[in-house]
Copies of this chain bind each other. A is one copy, B any other.
Amino acid sequence: MTGTIGASVKRREDDRLLTGRGRYLDDLDLPDALAIAFLRSPHAHAKINSIDVDEALQAPGVVAVYRGSDLMAIHKPLAPKVQHPMLKELPRYPIPCEEVHYVGEPVAVVVAENRYLAEDALELIDVDYDVLPAISSTAAALAEGAPLAHSDADSNVAVTLTQRCGDAEAALNSAPNRLSGEFRVMRGGGHSMEARAVAARFEPATGQVTVWDTTQSPHYARQQLSMIYEMAEDDIRVIAPPDVGGGFGPKAQFYGEEVVVPWVAMLLGRTVKWVEDRQENFVSAMMERGQTHRIEVGFDDDGKLLAVRDHIEHDQGAYCAGLQVPSITTSTVPGPYKIPNIHTELYACYTNMVPTSSVRGAGRPQAVFAMERMMDRIAEHLDLDPAEVRRRNLIQADEFPYRVGITFRDGSPLTYDSGDFPALLEGTLDKLDYERCKRERDQARAEGRHVGIGIAVYVEGCGLGPYEGAKLRLDNRGKILVTLAAAGQGQGYETVYAQIAAEAIGVDMDLIEVVTGDTGRIPFGQGTFASRITATAGPAVYNAGHQLRERLKDTAAHLLGCAPGDIEFDGDRATFAGDAEKSVSLQEIARVANIGKHGITLPKGIKPAIEVSSYFAPERAAYASGAHAAVVEVDPDTGGVKVLKYVIGHDCGNVINPRLVDGQVIGGFAHGIGNALYEEPVYDAEGQPQAASYLDYTLVSAAEVPRVELFHLHTPSPLNPLGAKGAGEGGTIPAPAAIANAVEDALRSIRHRGGVEDGRPDHSGKQPPGGRARHRLEGDADGARSATIQRSPRIDYAPVTPHRVATAVREAGH
Contacts and interface: CB of A to CB of B under 8 A. Distances in A.
B621 A615 contact: no
Contact of A596 (B465, B520, B596): B465
Contact of A598 (B212, B233, B526): B526
A433 interface: no
Interface stretch (A24-32, A91-99, A382-390, A738-746): A24-32
Given A467-B609, A475-B234, A324 B409 contact: no
A599 B203 contact: no
A597 B618 CA distance: 13
* Candidate in A226, A608, A619 with the most chain B CB atoms within 10 angstroms: A608
A408 B597 CA distance: 14
Given A31-B204, A596-B526, A597-B82, A521 B602 contact: no
B526 A465 contact: no
Nearest to A226: B476
Interface string A774-793: 00000000000000000000
B476 A602 contact: no
A112 to B, nearest CB: 19
A14 B775 CA distance: 79
A601 B234 contact: no
A601 B615 contact: no
Contact of A467 (B466, B475, B515, B596): B596
A611 B524 contact: yes
A481 B524 CA distance: 14
Given A476-B226, A617-B608, A598 B31 contact: no
A602 B464 CA distance: 10
Interface in A319-365: 322, 324
A410 interface: yes
A524 B210 CA distance: 23
Given A210-B203, A223-B595, A324-B599, A615 B620 contact: no
Contacts of A210: 203, 206
Interface string A489-506: 000000000000000000
A600 interface: yes
| Residues of A contacting B: mostly | loop
Nearest to A466: B596
Interface residues of A, number: 72
Contact of A523 (B205, B599, B609, B620): B609
Interface string A437-478: 000000000000000000000000000111101000101110
A767 interface: no
* Candidate in A409, A597, A598, A619 with the most chain B CB atoms within 10 angstroms: A598
A263 interface: no
A625 to B, nearest CB: 19
Interface in A193-226: 199, 201, 203-206, 210, 212, 220, 223, 226
A701 interface: no
A609 B204 contact: no
Contact of A599 (B30, B82, B595): B82
A366 interface: no
A61 B179 CA distance: 84
A82 B597 CA distance: 7
Contacts of A406: none
Given A204-B31, A465-B596, A609-B467, A473 B601 contact: no
Interface in A519-562: 520-521, 523-524, 526-527, 529-530, 532
Contact of A83 (B206, B226, B227, B597): B597
A465 B598 CA distance: 7
Contacts of A203: 201, 210
A316 interface: no
A99 to B, nearest CB: 28
Given A324-B598, A594-B524, A600-B409, A233 B476 contact: yes
A654 to B, nearest CB: 21
* Candidate in A83, A324, A466, A617 with the most chain B CB atoms within 10 angstroms: A466
A607 interface: yes
A608 B475 contact: no
Given A523-B473, A608-B615, A204 B30 contact: yes
Given A412-B601, A469-B609, A475 B621 contact: no
A21 to B, nearest CB: 14
A598 B220 contact: yes
A365 to B, nearest CB: 18
Contacts of A479: 232
A436 B408 CA distance: 85
B481 A234 contact: yes
Nearest to A621: B601
Contacts of A611: 523-524, 613
Given A232-B477, A595-B223, A466 B28 contact: no
Contacts of A227: 476
A378 interface: no
Given A29-B205, A609-B524, A611-B523, A466 B597 contact: yes
Contacts of A232: 475, 477, 479
B204 A602 contact: no
A81 interface: yes
A619 to B, nearest CB: 7
Contacts of A469: 608-609
Nearest to A608: B467
A521 B234 contact: yes
B520 A608 contact: no
B466 A223 contact: no
Contacts of A412: 601
A269 interface: yes
A619 B605 CA distance: 9
A630 interface: no
B30 A601 contact: no
Contacts of A409: 599-600
Given A223-B476, A226-B476, A239-B206, A618 B601 contact: yes
Contact of A530 (B28, B206, B269, B599): B599
B204 A29 contact: yes
Contacts of A524: 594, 608-609, 611
A409 to B, nearest CB: 7
A239 B212 CA distance: 21
Given A81-B598, A232-B475, 16 more contacts: A29-B205, A31-B269, A206-B239, A234-B475, A408-B601, A465-B600, A465-B601, A466-B597, A466-B601, A524-B594, A526-B598, A601-B619, A601-B620, A606-B617, A607-B617, A611-B613
Interface pairs A-B: 5 shortest CB-CB: A466-B596, A29-B204, A467-B608, A465-B601, A28-B205
30 contacts: A28-B204, A28-B205, A30-B205, A81-B598, A203-B210, A223-B595, A226-B476, A227-B476, A232-B477, A234-B481, A234-B515, A234-B521, A324-B598, A324-B599, A409-B599, A409-B600, A410-B600, A412-B601, A464-B601, A465-B601, A466-B598, A467-B609, A469-B609, A523-B609, A527-B598, A530-B599, A601-B617, A607-B617, A608-B617, A609-B615
